Amino acid sequence: MPQFHDALPTDYIEPGETTVVSVDGFPVAVANVAGEYFAFQSLCPHQGTTLGGRPLDDCYITCSQHSSRYDVRTGACVEPATDGFSQDLMVFSTRVIDDVVQVEV
């Protein structure tokens, strides 16, 4: 059964930034979109390129390898890879308790 786990302090990433953290031993990307936190799979489903650590463009993150573009709030693939591959990201629920972002895995 999924549970919330501490992931990072809220001041660890600024708005527009992302990072990868280990949540219960599972690598998860966390994004700060205008002070709201979203968690999603850390690797692009196309060929496994790391997404976390890349900057956001509003609420979107773009894979550096084949330009897939994702909405980090929903995981939706809004622009397929250059070869046409399109698959949404897995997303995880988040909450903030006592200035700590928690992720449900």
Q: 3-62, pLDDT tens digit by residue?
A: 999 999 999 999 999 999 999 999 999 999 999 999 999 999 999 999 999 999 999 999
Instruction: Specify the pLDDT at position 29.
Output: 98
- Express each pLDDT in 86-96 by its tens digit: 999 999 999 99
Domain of 83: which CATH number?
A: 2.102.10.10
| CB of 19 closer than 8 Å to CB of 11 | no
CB contact burial 51-63 (16+ within 10 A = b; e otherwise): bbebebeebbbbb
| Domain total of the chain | 1
Domain containing 15 equals 4-104
Give the position of tokens 């390129």. Answer: 49
Q: Residue 103 CA to chain centroid, in angstroms? A: 11
pTM: 0.95
Beta bridge partners of 38: 31
